[in-house]
Chain A
Amino acid sequence: MSKTDVRAFQIEYESAESTEVASPISTREVIAEANIEESLYGKNKPRRVTIDRKIAYDQDKTMSSE
């Protein structure tokens, strides 16, 4: 893909994305969601999260640092 093709694709992608965001319905939904979240301040209880995760060793990084 040439540079011109990439730019054309970017413009097409960005304009498609901006149309979606600019929709008045989605804006209202976002505001409603924010209000719901705000009204919940102080209503939740503390919660515990416990995680056991395998460490992914990065061999290449170890070798390059050596």
Chain B
Amino acid sequence: MTKTKRCQVNKAIRVDSGQEDRISQGDIYKEIEHIEYVFEKDGYIHYSKIIFPLVIVLTQDCDLAQDSMFRGFRGVKGKTQDKVLISALVAPIYNADHVFAGTHLDDIHKKHLNDVGQESQSMEIIWPDRTPGKFLRKNERCRYHYLEFPNDIPIVPSIIDFKHYFSVNIEQMNSNRKEHFVCRVSDMYREDLSLRFANFLSRVGLP
């Protein structure tokens, strides 16, 4: 085994099969829709959505556990829905190669011509073998979280972009959970993820 390959195996995270029958922090789901807008005009309904191939759940697991429990109390006398959530926070997971090439959002952002008449990139290129790419893979850039999956999980090396987090309706997600569920990041790795996301949200931009 070469040095590079050994390094990649060591980096692989651990995942669970997700036996619990509820949404959990660290769950990875496929084909999740984000509604951009919905409005009605002149008898027509217009809506736009982005379909993300993979997302990871970032909402705290204790909140999700309580949500699941309190949701079950609906209609039960004397029980409240005090802990029911409105939505769950998720962040998209992009193919690492696409992120390095700056092409992962080519189908979302319209391309435009720059000052010299060339078609501009939708996202910046991050050279994987230079400092920015190396920093990203070591999880030293607070915006991104680099992940490699074990061999039995058919997901390519991927990058979570915390800046693109969005919310998903929990009830809808629960109703399609089995069709969309891929795997669950195991406890320690999801704690790391949670801390890094909190750090990203609370960062202070100094001049």
Known: A42-B93, A42-B158. A52 touches B45 (CB 8 A): yes
Question: With the chains together, A48 CA to B105 CA distance in Å?
Answer: 10
* Inter-chain contact B51/A49, CB cutoff 8 Å: yes
Number of CB contacts from chain A to chain B under 8 A: 74
Interface residues on chain B, number (Cβ under 8 Å): 31
CB distance from A41 to the nearest CB of B (A): 5
> Which residues from A are CB-within-8-Å of B92?
46
Interface residues of B, dominant DSSP: strand
* Inter-chain contact A50/B51, CB cutoff 8 Å: no
Pick from B30, B48, B94: contact of A50, CB under 8 Å: B48
* Inter-chain contact A39/B47, CB cutoff 8 Å: no
CB distance from A65 to the nearest CB of B (A): 19
Pick from A46, A48, A54: contact of B43, CB under 8 Å: A54
* Inter-chain contact B154/A45, CB cutoff 8 Å: no
* Inter-chain contact A55/B45, CB cutoff 8 Å: yes
The verdict on A53 contacting chain B, using a C-beta distance below 8 Å, is yes
> Which residues from B are CB-within-8-Å of A44?
53, 95
Pick from A38, A42, A50: contact of B54, CB under 8 Å: A42
Q: Which residues of B contact A (CB under 8 A)?
A: 30, 36, 40, 43-54, 92-95, 98, 103-108, 154-156, 158, 182
